[in-house]
Amino acid sequence: MKNTYYITQRELYAYFASPIAYIMMAFFLAFSGALFSLFVTSNPTQVEVNTIMRSWTSSVGFFLLIFLSIVTIRLIAEEQKTGTLELLLTSPVRDWQVVIGKFLATVVLLLFTLLFTVIYILMMLIFGGKADWGPIFSGYLGLLLIGGVSASFGILASSLTQSQAVAAVIGILVSIVLWFLSALFVSGGASSTEWWSTALSYASLQSHVDSFARGSPDLKDLFYYVTLIVLFLGATIQVLKMRRGE
């Protein structure tokens, strides 16, 4: 675990030593803040606050995929290009420690970014809003899980190529397809009773956001996000093992 901690620390330093993290955080906060202001009414009641959080969580979740796809492109692709990945893999560090360390650093960056959005909630309360904290906390949990899925796939995309541009394109395109999977393939007239229609609907990232935004997270939605995170991280570990020659 000590190696994982050092890798996490190293990647966090790299994030905040580069302007790209600050630029992307600024864009994300500006976008999420603009969305929040659109959903807020002059004197929101508790019911309206819940509606605001539900709409905001779903909308921000999609933008979060783009944000993290761009942030994670350098994690392995840059090291492959500069040759430092080979040095890292030949050191007494396990592949899973490298992957988990980079993933945890991204999650910490995500938490730090989401922390700033709490200002929107506080401003809403200051101006007379009455918040139901259940949907708020579960909404943030949903955003954290969506971010975890995007981060884990972004790391996988970064491990597949030395080009950060290619990694970004792969990460963004796959994230968009995963988000709109149900709408792209099911809404074309397919019956909801067909097995493949149901499967695609379940595989869509968007279809699992609503329970968190409502304040009543479903166990199957939590299982879905965690499964994708484990699957993508596991695939990245296998890619590094192949590069190590195992």
- Mean pLDDT score of the chain: 80
pLDDT range class, residue 105, cuts 50, 70, 90: very high
Q: Could you state, in order of their start, the residue ranges of all structural domains in the chain? A: 2-244
* pTM of the predicted model as reported, rounded to 2 decimal places: 0.85
What pLDDT score was predicted for residue 234?
93
Q: What is the tens place of the pLDDT at every residue in 169-178?
A: 888 888 888 8
Q: How far is residue 237 from each of residues 84, 172, 211, 230, measured CA to CA in Å?
A: 17, 21, 31, 10
Task: Give the mean model confidence (pLDDT) for residues 174-187.
Answer: 73
